[in-house]
Structures are given as C-alpha cells and as structure tokens.
Amino acid sequence: MIELINLSKKYGNNDFYSVEPTNLTIQPGKIIGFIGHNGAGKSTTIKMMTGVIGPSSGDVKINGHSITSDDINAKREFGYVPDSPDVFLKLTGFEYLNFMGSTFGVEPELLKKRIDELAEQYLMSDKLGNLIDSYSHGMRQKILIMGALVHEPNIMILDEPLTGLDPVASRLLKDSMIEHVRKGKTVLFSTHVLEVAEKLCDEILIINKGKMIYQGTLELLKEKYNESDSLEDIFFAITNANV
C-alpha cells in the first residue's frame, strides 16, 4: 500500500506549489496509471514518493514505512524506474544488475538466476557485457526496468517507462506489470500514452497544475462525465475545466 499524507512540494520562497497538499491511498493488487500534462507534477510526486527529493510538507508511507523517517525499509519495498534512463553509464549491464540485486540483499545464486531470466525475457542476454553508455535509449530503458525487477519488489514505481521502447519491449513491460499485479503486488506508472492507461490500468490518477483532481476507476470517471468518450476526451475536458 502507498499512502500520501498531506504531501506537497514548493520551490523557492513564494506560494507556488509544484504539488499541492495531497492525501490519497493506493491499495495493493492494482495497476495505477498516473496521468497529467507536462509540468503537471507527476515526476515531482514520484520523486517524493521514492525519496529522490524531500517534500515541503507531509510524508509518504510505503507498506507502512515512512519515506522520510524510515527510508531504508521503505525503499526495500519498491523498484523504481526514473524518467531518464541516462544513469550508471560507465557500468556494464551485468554490473548494474548485480549492483541493484546486491543492494537489495538478493543472494548471489538467486540473483544470477533472476538476471538470466530477465535478460532472456527482455532480449538483452548478448548485451549485458557492454557498457550502458553504448546502449540505445530503448536498451537503457530496458536495463533500468530489469534493475527495478531483479529483487522482485512488492511495488513497482515507474516514471514514463514506455518512452523509447520498441513495440516488443513495450509489450514485455506491460506483461510484467500484469504478472506483478497477479501476485497481489502494486504497479504505479506515469504515462503520456492515454490509450495504454485506458486499456491496462485498474485505476487512474489525474494531476493538473500540481493538484490531484481524480483517483478511481475509468468506469466511474466515464459515469461522472460521458460514458461514450475515451479517456483522452475526458482527460482534456476535465484538465481544461481546471485551468
């Protein structure tokens, strides 16, 4: 379970909120799509949830562990894919996956087995010996996804994970999300691809200008607005209404 408790972010000494005070709970066993325009506050929210940046107020609890006061245990609960894949460029793919697995305490034999399985699944077996710096954008994205999965976390938190993936890799990631949730675990991912959110997600979070304006199922959203409209149509209608 993920809990946001009066979570907010301000920058500078003014009254501008990048993310307004937010309270919400995400139950396990669901795929949650987090959508909003560029600059709406998605990445800032995710960075606060994962402890990359500190909040101006409030807290996040990850399966009961506070990201501000119990960050080590909180971070053991999730795998995180950031919005940029350009990290750890001077490591090979194999070194990066070993680093991620050992950081989360995966036993060496089990870690090797998981790396082999993920490399085969994501068609990266012959690329793990190469520097990440030599990878294409899509390959960098795949190695970060593999690193987020290697310790089999209870929660996956992914910031625009589909960006740069080819159709095959995109399908593999979607399948991984579905399988993760089948095990009673949780997936939260931000996306600009509203058709993906519409088809894949159990619930939708919509943020607009730093304010969370909807949490719930697509069915309830359509009941509230126009049942015949697509998520794209409804999204643009309600975000424009909240300008």
Residue-wise pLDDT tens digits, 111-162: 999 999 999 999 999 999 999 999 998 899 999 999 999 999 999 999 999 8
The model's pTM is: 0.90
- Domain assignments of the chain as residue spans, ordered by start: 1-77+155-243, 83-153
- Encoding tokens for residue 44? 């800032």
Q: Is the pLDDT of residue 242 over 60?
A: no
Fold entry, domain 1-77+155-243: Rossmann fold (3.40.50)
Residue-wise pLDDT tens digits, 27-80: 999 999 999 988 889 999 999 999 999 999 999 999 999 999 999 999 999 999
b (16+ CB within 10 A) / e for 81-90: bbeebeebee
- Encoding tokens for residue 58? 């409030």
Amino acid code (one letter) for 233: D
Residue-wise pLDDT tens digits, 160-197: 998 878 888 889 889 999 999 999 999 999 988 888 88
State the Cα–Cα distance between residues 130 and 109, nearest whole angstrom: 22
The 10 Å Cβ neighbour count of residue 23 is 11
Question: Would you state the pLDDT for residue 243?
Answer: 47
The 10 Å Cβ neighbour count of residue 184 is 10
What is the rounded radius of gyration, in angstroms, for the C-alpha atoms of the chain?
18
3-state secondary structure 189-218: EECCCHHHHHHHCCEEEEEECCEEEEEECH
